[in-house]
């Protein structure tokens, strides 16, 4: 079975416990205004053309984003790092995009990893068919689960997706006793107000079983990618959010019993 992969990152330390190999699958059903991987959104390969300056001359360097590879090829790469997984308590993370957009490929990788005894994490936006996420959960140890906005109308405006399916799937996973870390991308002017953090807490507490929350502060590093891919950047000009600005929100979540990390 083949799937479209746009990156494989070895020795990752922010995508779950220990040292990990993170596989980035192409395709996403959302269209978040702040997306830091705009090259991940389409389920087709595309070209990224960079201008390189060398000895005073400007060159174009083209790179294909997204390559079709088989599950066996993924596993050959992953297995090279088995010793690091064992030493560090790490494993394999599927990310994207939304990995479950290529559901059969993603679940087959998870299944193959579990057959090898590797810890598996799935970084998901949760906006997928509930049967699909249940099947993925059979081979997933940890979900890194995005919550992007606590208000359903604003959520739709900024992501083009309905919040209710995401909350329903979260409830399903917790009902299956899966380990879930909530990840909140914090975007200035969009979801960074005290009352919005309070609302996030109410939502998370209403679905029993989450202990850990990660804040992902907005960064502007993807700006260049938007212009090269000729995609509209709705947040062009927005500055990277300083971690320190999230200390009050961190305290608020901690007072409500959550373990909080700033960063992935």
Residues forming the site for ligand SF4 (CB under 6 A): 28, 30-32, 35, 37, 40-41, 96-98, 125
For residue 200, the SS3 value is helix
Between 31 and 130, whose beta carbon lies closer to ligand SF4? Answer: 31
Between 32 and 213, whose beta carbon lies closer to ligand SF4? Answer: 32
Between 19 and 26, whose beta carbon lies closer to ligand SF4? Answer: 26
Whole-angstrom distance, CA of residue 141 vs CA of residue 106: 14
Between 30 and 74, whose beta carbon lies closer to ligand SF4? Answer: 30
Shortest distance in whole angstroms from residue 159 CB to ligand SF4: 6
Whole-angstrom distance, CA of residue 3 vs CA of residue 105: 6
Neighbours of 153 (CB within 10 A): 9
For residue 98, the SS3 value is coil
Shortest distance in whole angstroms from residue 116 CB to ligand SF4: 27
Whole-angstrom distance, CA of residue 116 vs CA of residue 191: 40
Give DSSP secondary structure letters for 203-228: HHHHSTT--EEEEEE---TTHHHHHH
Between 37 and 169, whose beta carbon lies closer to ligand SF4? Answer: 37
Between 120 and 159, whose beta carbon lies closer to ligand SF4? Answer: 159
Whole-angstrom distance, CA of residue 162 vs CA of residue 154: 10
Shortest distance in whole angstroms from residue 106 CB to ligand SF4: 14
Shortest distance in whole angstroms from residue 57 CB to ligand SF4: 35
Instruction: Please report where in the chains the tokens 């005290």 appear, as a residue.
Output: 194
Shortest distance in whole angstroms from residue 41 CB to ligand SF4: 6
Instruction: Please report where in the chains the tokens 């936006």 appear, as a residue.
Output: 125
Shortest distance in whole angstroms from residue 241 CB to ligand SF4: 15
Spatial CB neighbours of 43, under 8 Å, sequence gap ≥ 6: 4, 26, 27, 101, 102
């Amino acid at each position: 079975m083949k799937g479209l992969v746009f990156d494989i990152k070895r020795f990752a330390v922010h995508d779950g416990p220990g040292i990990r190999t993170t596989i980035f699958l192409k395709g996403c059903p959302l269209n978040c205004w702040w997306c830091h991987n705009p090259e991940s959104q389409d389920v087709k390969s595309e070209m990224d053309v960079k201008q390189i300056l060398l000895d005073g001359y400007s060159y174009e360097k083209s790179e294909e984003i997204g390559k079709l590879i088989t599950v066996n090829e993924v596993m050959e790469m992953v297995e090279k790092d088995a010793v690091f997984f064992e030493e560090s308590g790490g494993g394999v993370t599927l990310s994207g995009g939304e990995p479950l957009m290529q559901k059969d490929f993603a679940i087959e990788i998870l299944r193959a990893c579990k057959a090898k005894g590797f810890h598996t994490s799935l970084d998901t936006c949760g906006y997928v068919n509930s049967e699909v996420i249940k099947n993925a959960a059979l081979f997933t140890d940890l979900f890194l689960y995005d919550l992007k906005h606590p208000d359903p109308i604003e959520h739709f405006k900024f992501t083009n997706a309905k919040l209710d399916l995401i909350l329903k799937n979260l409830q399903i996973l917790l009902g299956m006793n899966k380990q879930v870390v909530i990840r909140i991308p914090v975007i200035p002017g969009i979801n960074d107000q005290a009352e919005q953090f309070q609302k996030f807490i109410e939502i998370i507490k209403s679905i029993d079983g989450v202990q850990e929350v990660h804040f992902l502060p907005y960064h502007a590093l993807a700006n260049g990618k938007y212009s090269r891919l000729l995609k509209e950047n709705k947040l062009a000009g927005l500055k990277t959010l300083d971690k320190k600005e999230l200390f009050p929100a961190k305290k608020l979540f901690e007072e409500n019993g959550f373990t909080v990390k700033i960063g992935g």
